[in-house]
Amino acid sequence: MRPTAYGGFAVFIVAWLAYATALLASSRDLFTRVVFEEGDAATVSIQVLAAKDLELLVGNYSRAGFHHPGPALIYVQAFGEWLFYDVSSLVPSPWNGQAIAILLFNAAMMALVLSIVYSWYPSWMLVAGLAGASLLFVTVYRELLSQLWFPFVYFAPFLVFLVAVSSVLAGRTEHLWIVALAGGLLIHGHAEFLFFVTLLGGAALYLVRRWELPVAVRDWWWFGAIVVVFAFPIRLNTMVNYPGELPKYFVYGGGHGIHMPWTAASYTVQFWGPNRILGLVIFVALYALVAAVARGQTFLRRGLAVCAVTVLLMSIYAMIGIDQIDEAYIGYFSYAVPLFMFFLLLIGLTQRIGQLKYAGIGLLVVGIVVVTMTHSLANRRPEMVGIPAALDAMADVAGDRPIVLERRPHEAWAEVVPLVLSGARAGLRVCADDASNMRLLVTDEFVCTSEELTDGAHFAVVRGEVAGAPVGEVIAEVGPLLGRPPSRVTVVGNRR
């Protein structure tokens, strides 16, 4: 007997509020601490400025020299900045609003996973147990739900995608809209999901047709409408900025060599355990255990198959799609696969041993206690110090002229971008001098024009002792709270 739609909605609301409470309570300093973002976070915040004007058509930048397909996740952050900082003044700085939006987004994704499971196994005890298991998982693999860096943000929607695809293949075709939603969010987030979502989602649609699973007309309409919404900005960007970003992905894909299969397999299993050997052991053991308890359970068998195919696709992608195989962050999203496998095992065990369902509350309590003691849901972020003072010092020197920023060496872009961003927020014209290298990071709007290069007040952000760099007068220091020494902001020239 299927649970009512009301029951699934109730699970979603309760779970969302529970996850949101845990995440926000763990990161409660977001409501009191002024945060000046650095590096990658600042580049996204510059895009947030465009998103708040509904002008952003692309995703975050890639080190490969392009933007990822779509802006959906950046619009989530823009909404948070607008609501929690601009409108309600609930937080003391713009980035904090973005952070709260992502925490609420991740909570919603996890709640959606539990509501899908509830549609198959309508037990609040089971839902509580799975929630507890997820808390224990993110205690081991921290930052998956609490950070704004996109490689972590992809984790929750990918988990939703895996669970929704499994549910559809098991017969709940009313979850097609969730497949479209999660798939759209992922494709917007990173070009790699053009591979994963297209193959997994495409295979699911093919099998729905092949197996003649019944699909209501309204479910096809919902699926199609969501696909169109996510495709719209990508198509519009292709038209406005022809040929857009898509051709760049193919150039990148053919621009590096192919890794050996064993190297790709090693890359894949690192996300299954504390080291690669234990990762392989955990994967094999989990697969065997789930297979043992999945007999007679359609959702479990489909879920196990989806996980197995995803691991295979991950290995293939690592072999042909990753240029720098030592960069683990590219695959952080795949932590969703072992968590889903743990979910499948817990579901199977509770179905075979009825008394275990009462352990759900205990598992949830343990998860809450462990998370509280370890602070594993706390938002940890790199921050910049000295930004307001540096901006004031440059403004005093520049007067009514634009502020032109150089970087010495190129890596000092991580300090330059926050200064450009803070200038925009303060109503000061601050621009980066090198269009060829900085356009991707600060967008065309904040690259200096030829007139600004001629008439502006020039400053350099200098890291350490840079050979041949003009020192000039040091007027400020900026840098992270931890790590390397602060960089110096120096006066380079004041041409009129």
Pair (208, 301) in one structural domain = yes
Residue 42 structure tokens: 């600042």
Instruction: Provide the pLDDT for residue 495.
Output: 46
**Number of continuous H segments (helices) and E segments (strands) in the chain:** 20, 6
Pair (301, 212) in one structural domain = yes
**Helix, coil or strand: residue 431:** strand
User: Given 328, 353, 374, which residue is the final one in a domain?
Assistant: 374
Pair (369, 404) in one structural domain = no
Distance CA 342, CA 304 (A): 10
The distance of Cα 319 from the centroid of its chain, to the nearest Å, equals 23
Pair (284, 192) in one structural domain = yes
Per residue in 376-390, pLDDT (tens digit) is 999 988 889 999 999
Pair (271, 399) in one structural domain = no
Query: HSE (CB half, 13 Å, CA atoms) of 304?
Result: 24
Per residue in 182-200, pLDDT (tens digit) is 999 999 999 999 999 999 9
Instruction: Provide the pLDDT for residue 360.
Output: 87
The boundaries of the domain holding residue 455 are 385-493
Are 403 and 431 spatial neighbours (Cβ–Cβ below 8 Å)?
yes
Question: Is there a domain that residue 156 lies in?
Answer: yes
Pair (126, 245) in one structural domain = yes
Distance CA 338, CA 295 (A): 20
Question: Is there a domain that residue 379 lies in?
Answer: no
Instruction: Provide the pLDDT for residue 477.
Output: 93
Distance CA 69, CA 473 (A): 43
DSSP assignment of 13-82: HHHHHHHHHHHHHHTGGGGT----B-HHHHHHHHHHHHHHTT---S--B-TTSSB-S--HHHHHHHHHHI
Distances (CA, A) of 281 to 107, 269, 271, 300: 30, 9, 12, 21
> pTM of the prediction?
0.95
Question: Is there a domain that residue 59 lies in?
Answer: yes
Instruction: Provide the pLDDT for residue 464.
Output: 77
Cβ contacts of 295-299, under 8 Å, gap ≥ 24: 297/347, 297/348, 297/351, 298/170, 298/171, 299/120, 299/121, 299/166, 299/167, 299/170, 299/347
Pair (443, 362) in one structural domain = no
Distance CA 58, CA 62 (A): 11
List, in order, residues 6 or more apart from 196 with CB less than 8 Å away.
Answer: 158, 186, 310, 313, 317
Question: Is there a domain that residue 241 lies in?
Answer: yes
Pair (394, 316) in one structural domain = no
Pair (298, 437) in one structural domain = no
Pair (367, 334) in one structural domain = yes
Packing angle of the helix pair 193-210, 298-320 (nearest 10 deg): 140
Residue 384 structure tokens: 């910049």
Question: Is there a domain that residue 380 lies in?
Answer: no
Among 406, 407, 397, smallest CA distance to 428 is for: 397
The one-digit pLDDT tens for each residue of the chain (496 residues) are: 566 667 889 999 999 999 999 999 999 999 999 999 998 999 999 999 999 999 999 999 998 889 999 999 999 999 999 999 999 999 999 999 999 999 999 999 999 999 999 999 999 999 999 999 999 999 999 899 999 999 999 999 999 999 999 999 999 999 999 999 999 999 999 999 999 999 999 999 999 999 999 999 999 999 999 999 999 999 999 999 999 998 888 877 666 779 999 999 999 999 999 899 999 999 999 999 999 999 999 999 999 999 999 999 999 999 999 988 999 999 999 999 999 999 999 999 999 887 777 888 999 999 999 999 999 999 988 889 999 999 999 999 999 999 999 998 888 899 999 999 999 999 999 999 988 889 999 999 999 999 999 999 999 999 876 655 556 789 999 987 666 788 999 998 654 4
Q: How many domains does the chain have?
A: 2
Are 119 and 4 spatial neighbours (Cβ–Cβ below 8 Å)?
no
